Amino acid sequence: MGLGDTFLALASEAGPPGLFPARQQMAVSLGWHIVLACFGVAFPTVIYVMHRRGIVRDDPVALGLAKRWGKVSAVLFAIGAVSGTVLSFEMGLLWPGLMGRFGDVLGLPFAFEGLSFFVEAIFLGIYLYGWDRMPPRRHLAMLIPMGVAGIVGTFCVVSVNAWMNHPAGFAIRDGVVTDINPWRAMFNDGVWFQFLHMWLAAFMVVGLVVSGVYAAGLLRGRTDAHHRLGFTVPFVFGSVAAIAQPIVGHILGMRIADTQPAKLAAFELAETTEGPAPFRLGGLLIDGEVRWALEIPRLGSIIARNSFDRPVPGLDTAPASDWPPVNITHLSFQSMVVIGTLLAAGVVVFWLLRWRGIDLLNNRWFLRFSMIAGPLAILAVELGWVATEVGRQPWTVWQILRTNDAASTNPGLWWSYLGVLVIYLGMTIGAYVVLRSMAKRWRTGETDLPSPYGPPKEETVS
Amino acid sequence: MTLASVVAMAMFVGVVVYALFAGADFGSGFYDLTAGFDERGSEIRTLVDSSIGPVWEANHVWLIYILVMWWTGFPTTFAAATTTLFIPLLLALAGIVLRGATFAFRKYSETFAQARLFGAIFAASSVITPFFLGAAAGAIASGRVPAGGYGDLIGSWINPTSMVGGCLAATTCVFLAGVFLTADAARAGSTALAERLRIRTLAVGVATGVVVFAGLYPVAHDAPTLSHGLRTAASPLLALAAVAGAATLALLYRRKYSPARVSAVVAVGSVVTGWGVGQYPWLLVDQVTINDAAGADSTLVGLLIVVGLAGVIVLPALTYLFRLTQQWNRA
């Protein structure tokens, strides 16, 4: 359905030739990079807790896990650095209309992001080289700048996106961008909650993916301390984030009625403004009519406006030329919410039962659930970005710059899109093969695996 | 000295550092590529692996730094360059991606066949990437990037100055890497390996010198503005490059590897700086000056704050990392 909608949108769109491939290429590269970025943001903190436990309780299992995770994060960080470089090229190659006109408005957070990325790379190197070479406490402390850099980096990147949703820090006179204040652009109205939403999402992704790996081991009967601890620590992080996320998401959602009514209308599949508005689960907008939606009266007002009868703006508040692709936006948004709710419910059940003395780690169905929880969290992140980005269309900068005018008109964009698809597919396969082979070698007892930033291994390479 | 010039200089420091650090990394791909398949080949590859190891990823940061400074400080010229130099930038980017990823993958490869495939891609893309970046620089330096963007997609980077720029970037990288690898091999006590690398580096060094100075001839006809700058303001730097380059060859010949590293860095650094000085005050030669290209003053100040913070935060940490890795290598 989403796919068909995409093609319909493509057929009816009269944008410049670069628009479609530019959009798709950006979506693929961002969607790919965000997964690795999550690990760069959240993994150091998870490793810190594990490593600290190893030192404080003199626990060799925890220390072993921290050491392995450090190496895994190095592989992911290295690939993420590469895909991050791609993105910085793409800002110019795909969106010259945005960067040329607004580069000095939105660029400053990117500069801070580059700085925090550099800090994280250096301290990751120090951490990997520091094993057995630094006093244990100081070595552990090297993870702190990495975690802080993750926070600053997330804030800065999300700040640019929040600026696209809530443009600030400039004025336009006679078509010329003037009165530029990059700090106001950076600390725009939307940034704090959007940042919090993404930061929590990173912890959901990392916490649930890593614990899922150990859940798979437990399911195969590897019920040693190594697997139980490897599951529990990241799962705690994933749980806290999964429970906090719906609250933050709700606050964020309530603001949209005022800031981007057309996006909210698409989220809620609301054709006309209604108050009280129903909640429409599923469904599609076809030829101006809502079909196959499950309507629950009043719930729409409650969710979007935090009230029993306040109206939810409909698509009729904006001219049809300013509508986003409604069905993609609606379905992505609702799928994200459904997955988020499912994950929150899952972790609540786990901790409630554990409080009552029932350990679900012995339950095969729970282990199966936590194996797919990580991929589901990643899916929710992707859907969330699709919902907010597609939902802002046809604007790149809300009510300031249309995506048509931001995109490059270069006819070669189809080729670069194709190239990006091939390269990213290759990198995905490569990353999978490498991580699998690391896991396999660790299981067979090899401990001294090399890593990208780490010290060399004592053997020849090829 | 305007605010814009200070920001442009801060950005150009990134270009020089990237040319030196990443240059040495890129160039080592050449020795990896030409190492051969036998035992002796694996010796060089192991050396490349351990020499690049600790810092290779940090180098992308310099490139990101340049791009971010560019689009934030001088936004319209950035868009002009990316729309015109679409093809060489895309090819350089593909090279960076493949190089970075396959280097990591090779390190973890389980089997010889895997390592060889990843290694071949790593080595080939290492050589290609600096060529395209140099070609892009040549396009800017010869006035082929119009201020409004969307210049000639092909002719902008297939022309005499771009070809000189590409070859110059590729050969200087290989030269730098050769000097560093030779010194590393000698320090590790692999005398035979150091000898083989020394011969190759000497040959590469002569070739690099020829490219740099013979390249001035086509540039003189093709890029008069740059050429004028090179003959006047930048001429001391070119002289320094010639002296330092010759000194490097002499030191290599006499097997004084440690000082050779310093003179090689000076030689390459002054060639790159010479280009920058040669095209000053133009950002896009013959099209837009640095002052005209600059974005809002408040943003330029913000950028300088970031640069200052980087100096305070990053440099001490980076020094500490280098010391730690040196300790490891000595142990």
CA–CA distance, A460 with B35 (Å, rounded to integer): 14
Cβ of B213: how many Cβ atoms within 10 Å?
13
What is the least distance, in Å, from the CA of B222 to any CA of chain A? Answer: 27
Whether residue A23 has pLDDT greater than 60: yes
Contacts of B118 in chain A (CB under 8 A): 430
The pLDDT, as a whole number, for residue A308 is 84
Q: Which of A32, A36, A71, A118 best tests the B interface by mutation, with the highest count of B CBs <10 A?
A: A118
Q: List, for residues A173-230, the tens digit of each pLDDT value.
A: 988 888 889 999 999 988 999 999 999 999 999 999 999 999 999 999 888 899 999 9
Whether residue B37 has pLDDT greater than 80: no
Asked whether the beta carbons of A175 and A14 are under 8 A apart, the reply is no
Q: Per-residue confidence at B55, pLDDT binned at 50, 70, 90?
A: low
Contacts of A129 in chain B (CB under 8 A): 54, 321, 324-325, 328
Q: List, for residues A387-420, the tens digit of each pLDDT value.
A: 999 999 889 999 899 998 888 888 778 888 888 8
* Residues of A (263-322) whose Cβ lies below 8 Å from B: none
Contacts of B87 in chain A (CB under 8 A): 412
Taking the Cβ of residue A123 and every Cβ of chain B, the question of whether any pair is shorter than 8 Å is answered with yes
Residues B232-246, mean pLDDT to the nearest whole number: 94
CA–CA distance, A169 with A149 (Å, rounded to integer): 25
Query: Which tokens go with B34?
Result: 């030409």
Residues B171-188, mean pLDDT to the nearest whole number: 91
Say which of B41, B71, B110 has its CB closest to residue A92.
Answer: B71
Q: List, for residues A134-159, the tens digit of each pLDDT value.
A: 899 999 999 999 999 999 999 999 99
Taking the Cβ of residue A133 and every Cβ of chain B, the question of whether any pair is shorter than 8 Å is answered with yes
For A120, A215, B201, B209, B248, the CA distances from B257, given in Å and listed in that order, are 33, 54, 11, 19, 9
Q: List, for residues B222-233, the tens digit of each pLDDT value.
A: 999 999 999 999
Contacts of A132 in chain B (CB under 8 A): none
pTM summary value: 0.89
User: Shortest CA distance to B290 belongs to which of B73, B135, B141?
Assistant: B73
Contacts of B95 (CB under 8 A, 6+ apart): B125, B126, B128, B129, B132
- Taking all residues of chain B, what is their mean pLDDT, rounded to a whole number? 88
Rounded to 5 degrees, φ, ψ at B282 are -80, 140
Taking the Cβ of residue A12 and every Cβ of chain B, the question of whether any pair is shorter than 8 Å is answered with no
CB contact under 8 A, B96 and A85: yes
Say which of B50, B63, B327 has its CB closest to residue A85.
Answer: B63
Burial of A400 (0-12, 13-18, 19+ CB in 10 A): middle
What is the least distance, in Å, from the CA of B38 to any CA of chain A? Answer: 10
What is the least distance, in Å, from the CA of A257 to any CA of chain B? Answer: 32
Burial of A444 (0-12, 13-18, 19+ CB in 10 A): exposed
Q: Tell me the residue type at B218.
A: P
What is the least distance, in Å, from the CA of B148 to any CA of chain A? Answer: 10
Query: Which tokens go with A210?
Result: 């890593």
**How many residue pairs bridge chain A and chain B with CB atoms within 8 Å of each other?**
256
The pLDDT, as a whole number, for residue A148 is 95
Q: b or e along B251-273 (b: 16 or more beta carbons within 10 Å of the residue's beta carbon)?
A: bbeeeebeebbebbbbbbbbbbb
Residues of chain A with pLDDT > 70, as a percent, come to 93
Q: List, for residues A80-135, the tens digit of each pLDDT value.
A: 888 888 898 998 889 999 998 998 999 999 999 999 998 998 899 899 888 888 89
User: Shortest CA distance to A313 belongs to which of A355, A257, A363?
Assistant: A257
CB contact under 8 A, A129 and B54: yes
Query: Which tokens go with A41?
Result: 């943001």
Asked whether the beta carbons of B175 and B264 are under 8 A apart, the reply is yes
Cβ of A2: how many Cβ atoms within 10 Å?
15
Whether residue A457 has pLDDT greater than 60: no
Alpha-carbon dihedral angle through residues A102, A105, A106, A109, given to the nearest 10 degrees: 150
Say which of A101, A121, A433 has its CB closest to residue B57.
Answer: A121
CB contact under 8 A, B328 and A111: no
Cβ of A319: how many Cβ atoms within 10 Å?
9
CA–CA distance, A408 with B78 (Å, rounded to integer): 13
Contacts of A115 in chain B (CB under 8 A): 306, 309-310, 313-314
Q: List, for residues B9-34, the tens digit of each pLDDT value.
A: 999 999 999 999 888 888 888 888 88
CA–CA distance, A346 with A363 (Å, rounded to integer): 13
Taking the Cβ of residue A407 and every Cβ of chain B, the question of whether any pair is shorter than 8 Å is answered with no
CB contact under 8 A, B90 and A416: yes
CA–CA distance, B64 with A434 (Å, rounded to integer): 26
- Taking all residues of chain A, what is their mean pLDDT, rounded to a whole number? 87
Q: Which of B51, B105, B301, B314 best tests the A interface by mutation, with the highest count of A CBs <10 A?
A: B105
Q: Tell me the residue type at B132.
A: F
| Radius of gyration from C-alpha coordinates of chain A | 23
Rounded to 5 degrees, φ, ψ at A15 are -80, 180
Whether residue B315 has pLDDT greater than 90: no
CB contact under 8 A, A85 and B119: no
The pLDDT, as a whole number, for residue A137 is 92
The pLDDT, as a whole number, for residue A454 is 63
Taking the Cβ of residue A187 and every Cβ of chain B, the question of whether any pair is shorter than 8 Å is answered with no
Beta-sheet pairing, A176-178 with A279-281: unpaired
B284 bridge partner residues? B288
Q: Per-residue confidence at A160, pLDDT binned at 50, 70, 90?
A: very high
What is the least distance, in Å, from the CA of A460 to any CA of chain B? Answer: 6
Taking the Cβ of residue A83 and every Cβ of chain B, the question of whether any pair is shorter than 8 Å is answered with yes
Q: List, for residues A24-82, the tens digit of each pLDDT value.
A: 899 999 999 999 999 999 999 999 999 999 999 999 999 999 999 998 888 888 888 88
CB contact under 8 A, A115 and B310: yes
Residue of A nearest to B297 (CA): A180
Q: Per-residue confidence at A450, pLDDT binned at 50, 70, 90?
A: low
Asked whether the beta carbons of A379 and A339 are under 8 A apart, the reply is yes
Asked whether the beta carbons of A334 and A282 are under 8 A apart, the reply is yes
Residues B167-184, mean pLDDT to the nearest whole number: 93
Q: Tell me the residue type at B158.
A: I
Say which of B108, B114, B303 has its CB closest to residue A111.
Answer: B303
CA–CA distance, B306 with B18 (Å, rounded to integer): 18
Contacts of A416 in chain B (CB under 8 A): 86, 90
Q: Per-residue confidence at B38, pLDDT binned at 50, 70, 90?
A: low
CB contact under 8 A, A462 and B295: no
Q: b or e along B19-47 (b: 16 or more beta carbons within 10 Å of the residue's beta carbon)?
A: bbbbbbbbbbbbbbbebeeeeebbbbbbb
The pLDDT, as a whole number, for residue A13 is 47
Q: If DSSP codes are grouped into helix, strand and coil, which group holds residue A312? A: strand
Whether residue A295 has pLDDT greater than 90: no
Q: Please tell me what DSSP assigns to residue A274.
A: B
CA–CA distance, B275 with B260 (Å, rounded to integer): 23
